[in-house]
Amino acid sequence: MAVPPMAPAITHTMLTPRTGVANVREDLADLIYEIDPYETPMVSAIGNKEADQPQTEWLQQRLAAADDNAQPEGFRYAAQGATPPLRFSNVCQIMFRAVTVSNTFRVSNAVGGDEWDRQVLLKGKEVRRDLEWCITRNSLKTTTDPRRMSGFQTWITNGSMGAGGSLPANGNGGAAPVTGTPRALTLDLVGDAMQAAFVQGGHPRLAIMSPRLKRVFTNLAQGGAGNSIVAQNIVQATQPSPVTIVGAVDVYLSDFGRLETAPDIFMPDNYLELIDTDYVELAPLPGRDMINEEYAKVGDAADGGVIFEGTLRVTAPPAHALIGDLS
């Protein structure tokens, strides 16, 4: 039998206030919760080697094509043409997130401790997100101020775009992919792109894609599209190598080796990038790699922020591949 409710409190009873009164303390948790993700798979996976100048250049050496090469016994020497290296360049981009906190706020009893320290930590994460956003895209380098670096997609000639589209012809960071007709992601597209990089000497180990495409790829690898045996080729795992990637990583066993697949919220939703991590790196200028700076005082506040100045070096563009126009 249910217990009947009692009568409400009598008039003038002191009740828990809904709008607050002077002698009741507020209940504020001593923690500020973050919700925005800050995983940066590509920034985490690739190497880091400093640049010396705002425009950094590098050379890529290719070998002459293999041939029959049968020579007569006792042959007489004849000079053969040398294969010169290719020269590439990219420019360093300045990224900055500002912090300004009043000195009064800094000495107040605030949630999270010193607000300056907390804001610097947040801005560092934001700059890292900005860097991931830039390097995964098809932005083109500009040498005029403000300088911008060429993104990964502008260097890649292996892979494919949809009908009517095309990848950059030269693979030197000077052109973006041309958009074509959207098409569905298939394992054949991945295999063709991996093969194209492999025959050029590359061994892509990391595939990054949007969270939506990651689900599409996982369904394919687990036997979707009528393929009942491919389920054997995907292993739920943490990374098998020393590369540090923050976030969920699967390992797909392709015809050309193990391929780590990671979702990246900063990737364009219609591209899949296949990366050989041995042939791409970040190149920050000395003393400009996610540095916390505090500027001279101009008032009763602390001013500064977090700065990154550097670029992306795709040291051997043929080692990688790109699949675009994915629906």
Helix (H) or strand (E) holding 262: strand 257-263
What's the pLDDT tens digit per position in 155-190?
A: 999 999 999 999 998 899 999 999 999 999 999 999
What is the domain partition of the chain in residue ranges?
41-60+85-172+183-323
| CB 291 within 8 Å of CB 203 | no
More confident site: 15 or 209? 209
**Sequence letter at residue 281:** E
Q: Rounded distance, CA 209 to CA 268, Å?
A: 8
Q: pLDDT at position 152, please? A: 96
CATH number assigned to the domain covering 41-60+85-172+183-323: 3.90.1690
Lowest model confidence (mean pLDDT) among 23-37, 211-225, 273-287: 23-37
For residue 126, pLDDT beyond 80: yes
Average pLDDT over residues 97-113: 78
φ/ψ of 251, rounded to 5, equals -120, 120
Q: pLDDT at position 253, please? A: 83
Q: Which residue in 313, 318, 293, 296 sits closest to 304, CA to CA? A: 293
Q: pLDDT at position 243, please? A: 43
In the chain, the percentage of residues whose pLDDT exceeds 90 is: 47
Q: pLDDT at position 39, please? A: 81
Helix (H) or strand (E) holding 99: strand 93-102
**Sequence letter at residue 169:** A
Q: pLDDT at position 247, please? A: 47
Q: Which residue in 256, 261, 216 sits closest to 240, CA to CA? A: 261
What's the pLDDT tens digit per position in 64-91?
A: 888 888 888 888 899 988 888 899 999 9
Of the pLDDT bands very low, low, confident and very high (cuts 50, 70, 90), residue 7 is: confident
CB atoms within 10 A of CB 223: 15
For the chain, give the mean pLDDT. Answer: 83
